[in-house]
Chain A
Amino acid sequence: MNMWAIFYRLREAREGIARNTWASIATVVLLTLTLLMFGGFLWLNANLAQVANLLERQVQVRVFPAEGTPAQNLVTSLEALSGVRSVEVLAGESAYERLAPVFGRNTLMNALPADAFSDSLSVELLDPDQADDAVNQIRTLEGVGDVVWGQGFAQILYRISNGIQRGGIIFIIGFFIAALLMSLTAMQLAVLNREVEIQIQHFVGVGPWGIRGQFLMEAFLLGLFSSILAGAAFLYLGEVIQRIIISLMPFMSSQLSSPMLVIGVVLVTGPILGLLGGGLASQRAIAKSDK
């Protein structure tokens, strides 16, 4: 296809979009919505999986001594356990410092008494995959009150993430099919409207892919336009959502994945969806030109 062929196809595609104004608008709206949901799903999933993964890789286990047992007394027995890399005693007051950025110092001071946090021990494990066994061993030690570790929460997050993945994939597939059908319908309308043009092209000797070119170009433009709209909306909404999450949970600020990768995926997916619709719709139009 030479430069002039692209120039003429672009012109025809632009005229075609203008001719089927409402079908084109409906296609762009549906494609944009699909891409927005697709992007949102990808982003949510990426973040949940990332946080869950982080928590799962968290090899630190927090051990709270039983009442009346000084934390220092548990250090030796904890260090003796297989799978334990190191043990550190954490003073109760330091909990204030760690929670202050999350809940605000004043809120904590008002809500909790000064001795609300007792001393505890932070146990670092050698292998996070062996955490279950290590935690069970720690629980059997004398003087141990409670054991808290991140993997339990990570597993809940994973379950949520998997649920979102399964439900989301079905949901997105449904929307993809709807968007594809919409793009197909719009392009079929375009093919019907241009029956005479197709005949003329056929008889002057334009090949099947040349005839198809204008419909693919038109579908590509609709898809590209939709993906730019969805990308722009996602960029704006992504930032807003990110700001809300960070204001609620400051510790998440370094954990949230950037929406830029998702926007890139959305920008590529729109034209692909459009091209699929255009390709399918123009299949019949060129069938007889294929001799």
Chain B
Amino acid sequence: MSLKLETGDWAFLVGASGMGKTTLLKLLYKEEVPDKGKVLIGGMDTSTIHGSRLRRSMGIIFQSFRLLEKKTAYENIAYGAEVLAMPPDEVRKRTKEILELVGLADKSHRLPGQLSGGEQQRVAIGRALINEPKLIIADEPTGDLDPENTERVLKIFDRFHQEHKATVLFATHAVDVVNRLGRRVIRMQKGQVVSDATGGYWSDDEEEKEA
């Protein structure tokens, strides 16, 4: 399998469950190591870089929010920068900016249990974006969200992508989203890329057939 993303690209990774989307993403952030072949990021072979160093330039978002229940929305977002030892002033400044970006400035003091599912996912996204990653890897981040929240989440990604020229690889099942945005669509089947086209179209039928 060969796949190339240019800096600043936005690509959807689609395909039925079990077709290798998550494995491909894991190879990128070095949660998995390839048996053969190479994964190059920014021209560097990932086998030569420590996983933690690699992930520092990435924003990784999952379907599950993985929020800290005893920390507020503000603290959850700030935590992403604090663990990388960012000075407190910088943490405060960036957390405020991110809270604005994800539309939770007015709910910053709330605990995750006091937020809706969509809001919790936006906190998780904020935490992934606070370190201004160059590559965003999103593994079904809208899987548990309703259409309205899915739309909001996509807008956040889009704005960050535009403002920071970040590369986005977005694995999803959301057919509507993929087709409406008309961006590059990489379709995977049994661990292989079966189609890769900008403005690509993907139908429910195709997914059903694959499944």
Contacts and interface: CB of A to CB of B under 8 A. Distances in A.
B79 A200 contact: yes
A274 interface: no
Interface in B30-66: 30-31, 33, 50-58, 60, 66
B66 A8 contact: no
Contact of A2 (B56, B58, B85): B85
B86 interface: yes
Interface string B86-98: 1110000000000
Given A4-B86, A4-B88, A291-B30, A200 B80 contact: yes
B84 interface: yes
A204 B50 contact: no
B128 interface: yes
Interface stretch (A47-55, A206-214, A255-263): A206-214
A289 interface: yes
Interface residues of B, number: 29
A196 interface: yes
A4 B56 contact: no
Interface string B122-139: 000001100100000000
Given A4-B86, A5-B85, A8-B82, A204 B33 contact: no
Given A204-B55, A207-B50, A8 B128 contact: no
A201 interface: yes
A208 B52 contact: yes
B85 A1 contact: yes
Residue among B53, B82, B86, B127 with max Cβ neighbours from chain A (10 Å): B82
A200 B127 contact: yes
Interface in A241-291: 288-289, 291
Given A197-B68, A199-B66, A206 B52 contact: yes
A4 B82 CA distance: 8
B83 A210 contact: yes
Contact of B52 (A1, A5, A205): A205
B12 interface: no
A197 B50 CA distance: 20
Contacts of B57: 205
Given A204-B127, A204-B131, A205-B53, 6 more contacts: A196-B68, A200-B79, A202-B52, A205-B56, A207-B50, A210-B83
17 contacts: A4-B86, A4-B88, A8-B83, A196-B67, A197-B68, A200-B68, A200-B79, A202-B52, A203-B55, A204-B55, A205-B53, A205-B54, A205-B58, A210-B83, A288-B31, A289-B51, A291-B30
